[in-house]
Amino acid sequence: MADLSTARRMMVDGQVRTSDVTDLRIIDAFQSVARERFVAPSKTALAYVDRDVPVADGAGPASMRRMLKPMVLAKLIQAAQIEESDRVLIVGGTTGYSAAIVARLAGSVLALEEDAPLADRAANILSALGCANVEAVYGPLTAGWAAGAPYDVILIDGAVEVLPDPIRGQLRDGGRLVCVRGHKPPAKAFLYRSIEGELSGRPIFDATAPLLPGFAEKPAFVF
C-alpha cells in the first residue's frame, strides 16, 4: 500500500536517521522490511508510529506483547555491530520483525519465542518474506537457546530487570549482548561483552521498553 510505504520512509527519516543511526545497512533494512506485517491485525495503521506496538489482538498473554520502538531497536542493533558472518540469537522474537531486520545484516539468526502462536506466526511471516537465514524457535525466553550456542550477538527484544545465567553463558568470548535494563524511566539500553566467561556492560542510551515475561527482578524480602 502506497500510504504504508510512505509511512515507512517517514519512520526511517524521522525516527531512525535522526537518532544517530548511521549504519547504511541498518537504514536500508528498516526501509525494506514491511513492519505492518508483524503488528496486531487491528493495529496496522499504527505500524510506523513512535511507540511499542502490540503484536496480537485478543485478551490472551500474546496481546500483552509489543514490538520495540523503531528508534530503540535500530540503536540496539547498531550498538551490537553485527557482521555478515555473525550468528545471532534474538530473545523475545514475537512475530519476527527484529529477526527480519537482523537477517539482512547477519549470517544466521535464531528468533526465540515462548508463546507458541507468536512463534508459529513468526515462522510463517519470515518464510513468506524469504528469510532463509532465520529460524524461529519455541521455548522459554529465560533459558535462551543452548542448542545453537555460542552466539556472536544476543539481542533481547524487550526490557529486562535481570539477565539469567543461561543466556549469559550462550555468548562466545568477545560476543555482544544488547538489551534495555529496566522498563520505567530512568531505564537505559546496555551493551555487554563476554570476556573470558564474564559479562562486562555499560549504558549506551536512555530507553524504555515493555518488560519481557520472566525477566522481572524478584521482590526483596523486607522485615
Q: What integer pLDDT is reported at residue 223 of this predicted model?
A: 57
- Residue 46 reports pLDDT greater than 60: yes
Q: Where are the domains of the chain?
A: 2-206
Confidence of residue 183 (pLDDT cuts 50, 70, 90): confident
| 128: enclosing H helix or E strand | helix 116-128
Superfamily of domain 2-206: Vaccinia Virus protein VP39 (3.40.50.150)
**By mean pLDDT, which of 17-31, 101-115, 184-198 is the weakest?**
184-198
Instruction: Select from 178, 186, 175 the least CA-distant residue to 208.
Output: 186
Mean pLDDT of the chain: 95
DSSP lists the bridge partners of residue 67 as 53
Instruction: Select from 177, 158, 142 the least CA-distant residue to 97.
Output: 158
pTM of the model: 0.95
Query: What separation in angstroms does the CA of 151 have from each of 123, 127, 147?
Result: 20, 22, 10
Confidence of residue 197 (pLDDT cuts 50, 70, 90): confident
Q: Is 94 helix (H, G, I), strand (E, B) or coil?
A: coil
Q: What integer pLDDT is reported at residue 220 of this predicted model?
A: 64
Q: Is the CB of residue 162 less than 8 Å from the CB of residue 216?
A: yes
